[in-house]
Amino acid sequence: MSKVFWNILKESQIPLTLAAAVGVLSGALLEARLEALISLPILLAIIPPLNDMAGDLGTIIVARLTTAFYLGSIEPKLRKNRGLRTNLLSLMLVSTIVILYIGFVLSPIYSVTLDMNGMLFTVLIIVMLAGMMGVFFTLLFGIFLSVLSFKKGYNPDTVVMPMITLIGDFLSIASILFIAKMFGLV
């Protein structure tokens, strides 16, 4: 029991500390724009699905790539790598489908329930742009961390997965706020 405890602690303390730091950063980012978000609850409502999607796709790419690196079907290098490009493009395509679903199904519902009919089109655009941006950068981080973890011999399950989930959270929040700012909403 004690050996298992120390193993878990040893393996996860650094990634969990880093992940917690990223989590705190995400919270600080939300807190900094709290008033604007309260005045526009629709933006708060789209954060969870976009967060979830970025984290999920991030873990998918890490799982796929680390397996491919260990098998040798994709080379663990960042430049001129067809395998990485194919995975990135495929997951971006998947994310586009999910974002379209979130945009066209959930946004109108939220707009009605949150009584923000006048902003439906703007909300749709924000969801799509912020979703794509958040996922894209999360996937890039996922690729980088997968290559790094393979080269350094880290366990992807205990080191990379927790980090990419939190990075996905941070990047999707940052993307929503960035795009909303572009539209002058926050």
Q: Does 85 sit near other proteins (CB under 8 A)? A: no
Applying CB under 8 A, which part among 7-15, 71-79, 88-96, 170-178 lies near other proteins? 71-79
Which residues are CB-neighbours of 132 under 8 A, at least 6 positions away? 92, 95, 96, 99
Which residues are CB-neighbours of 166 under 8 A, at least 6 positions away? 19, 20, 22, 23, 26, 55
> CB of residue 60 vs other proteins: minimum separation in angstroms?
11
Residues in 141-170 at the binding interface with other proteins, rule: CB under 8 A: 150-151, 153
Under a CB-based contact definition with an 8 Å cutoff, are residues 96 and 132 in contact? yes
Task: Tell me how far CA of residue 33 lies from CA of 9, 29, 39, 75, 177, in angstroms.
Answer: 35, 7, 10, 42, 8
Of residues 52 and 157, the one with the C-beta less far from other proteins:
157
Of residues 9 and 38, the one with the C-beta less far from other proteins:
9
Residue selected from 73, 82, 93, 184 as contacting other proteins according to rule CB under 8 A: 73
Q: What is the contact surface with other proteins in residues (CB under 8 A)?
A: 63, 66-67, 69-73, 76, 150-151, 153
